[in-house]
Chains A and B, each alone.
Chain A
């Protein structure tokens, strides 16, 4: 894959996120500089407390850096206003979480429709779009169910549908299979890969399972104590992709 300047989608420069916990200063992200190219499937790996989720939150625009820059599609997130940051989260990135984070009082359809409400999409169009998104993840039969009535896999599929509803270029996943058994985990990962391959979405996935990363990601970034400790492209995933593409 060419490393041309024009195809760089995410670029962090000496990115830091420090915070104080009582007397001690915690360096959750400590001087990370990375470039992520559009269309890459990046796995952020590390033990718990290594700063991978903090880095993801910075890229997601949920958190602001203490210092350094995080530039996504040529806009520095640190410079955006709260309002602009909300727009960024609404349109540019989609997020999935380990604990699914669906709103329990709403049906699946309403959950998936919610970002469309924030995006002020017409009422008439919303339901159709949400149904389409749920259909894509195989949940057309569960539209009126509440999250608690569904299995973990189904809930994560619904949250994938919600992440995709505003057609973002980036999918940010924080341990998306962490609460699932391996079979449903694989199911979810296959959806994510599909979005990467067919929709051309750039994926950043936080995980602590190296095997999972090796199987799906095209690039693995290793973090420890908030610092970048390794960055390698993954040959295995392209092989497995070819194997899968070969009809196995």
Chain B
């Protein structure tokens, strides 16, 4: 029998016992729907986590250091590549070169230094770091009190909660509860702090004699004859924010507790630890950076960017491995959600088998007639197979629509809940195209597999026996 005829006969047979076949098809739909709902939830959560991680800035960041620092992140990096003395310096031109690599969003120098701050005439020592304006979207600032820097050069600072507590003399004792940010921010926001730091100023070689006389100044000579002085300076900074989380968590020991706009930090020309080394072969007008942080468009491109930067002769570091294990986690999660979703489909497939086996009993005589007038085993098998397939197609389409609707409702419900808990709404559910097509295909395949046994049973039916029933 031709395929088209087979399909036509299958549809008309299904219409004959419309109620039973509709119920079976609904069974498939529910199975597909649960599969789609589960997987779309898994995918949605994965995307949500991906968005969150992207915002955290941890997973799309490559940290670049100069090999001249002799502070490679691992032995392999120390041993491969150019020798430290012959490797390029990590200066402004290198930064610009890195910024122009494909898939790089921005590359900015990491400026951090230890400074002395005076607040209400008491000195405090802390690590300070410059933050690029793009860090505004970092989720570390989600629970921040006050506001982000008003501009990239404003004389403003944001304090980490623990430093704020220190300023107020509220450092929590071990075991006791931490003070809330709101509480800490209230007395500090808008207050002025005085920062004492070491400025590095260029000194033309001709002015060397003058520079020598200057109080509080040190002097270094470069082979080119240029030099710089280190001058003690003071600047007044306004507290604009106190943040709860730690924007600098990746830094470990060197993490800063006070943040200022990056441009401001650069303009201050604070003496950097690497400066002393670099004076031996660098013009003093172009400062070298200890570290450059590179933001990549997406975590998946981190490896490629890292490789490109390594080729330039720098050391790099990223948490790519962490993202890999995260993706692995979601792959496992999706797998489990898929298995749970498939369970319903498995139940539905038993429904198909049941319906078709019932249909064989009911249509025994019909099968006998068809065989008597010349239907081959293949024709009969094909007919039952086609019936299973048609139920699968219908079930698949309806199921995807149903699953989509269920997902929407779950999403809506979650958002209502989030809103009540004062959280921003989130898209925790996503149905990609491949899932729609895949679920329909899966429904058809499962239906056909379920039809396999009934179809071959129908095909094997003995026509003499089948026709004997009156």
Contact = CB atoms under 8 A, between A and B. Distances in A.
Interface of A: 57, 60, 62-63, 82-83, 86-87, 89-91, 94-95, 97, 99, 101-103, 105-106, 114-115, 117-120, 123, 162-163, 166
Contacts of A120: 1-2
Contacts of B4: 123
A102 B376 CA distance: 18
Contacts of B365: 101
A101 B365 CA distance: 8
B189 to A, nearest CB: 82
Interface stretch (B9-17, B141-149, B205-213, B448-456): B9-17
A101 B12 contact: no
Given A117-B5, A117-B9, A118-B1, A101 B374 contact: no
Contact of B373 (A63, A105, A106, A114): A114
Given A86-B376, A91-B374, A120-B1, 4 more contacts: A86-B379, A89-B373, A105-B13, A123-B4
Interface residues of B, number: 27
B463 interface: yes
A95 B372 contact: yes
Contacts of A83: 376-378
B161 interface: no
Contacts of A114: 370, 373
Given A83-B378, A99-B470, A120-B2, A62 B463 contact: yes
B464 interface: yes
Contacts of B2: 117, 120
B18 to A, nearest CB: 12
Contact of A101 (B5, B369, B379): B369
A86 B467 CA distance: 16
Nearest to B4: A123
B366 interface: yes
Contacts of A87: 374, 376
10 pairs of A and B residues whose beta carbons are closest in the complex: A90-B374, A86-B376, A89-B374, A101-B369, A117-B5, A105-B16, A62-B463, A118-B374, A115-B373, A63-B464
Contacts of A91: 374
A2 B1 CA distance: 41
B379 A118 contact: yes
B376 A62 contact: no
Contacts of A101: 365, 368-369, 372, 467
26 contacts: A60-B372, A62-B371, A63-B462, A82-B376, A83-B377, A83-B378, A86-B371, A86-B375, A86-B377, A86-B379, A89-B373, A89-B374, A90-B373, A95-B372, A95-B373, A101-B368, A101-B369, A103-B366, A115-B374, A117-B5, A118-B1, A118-B374, A119-B374, A120-B1, A123-B4, A123-B5
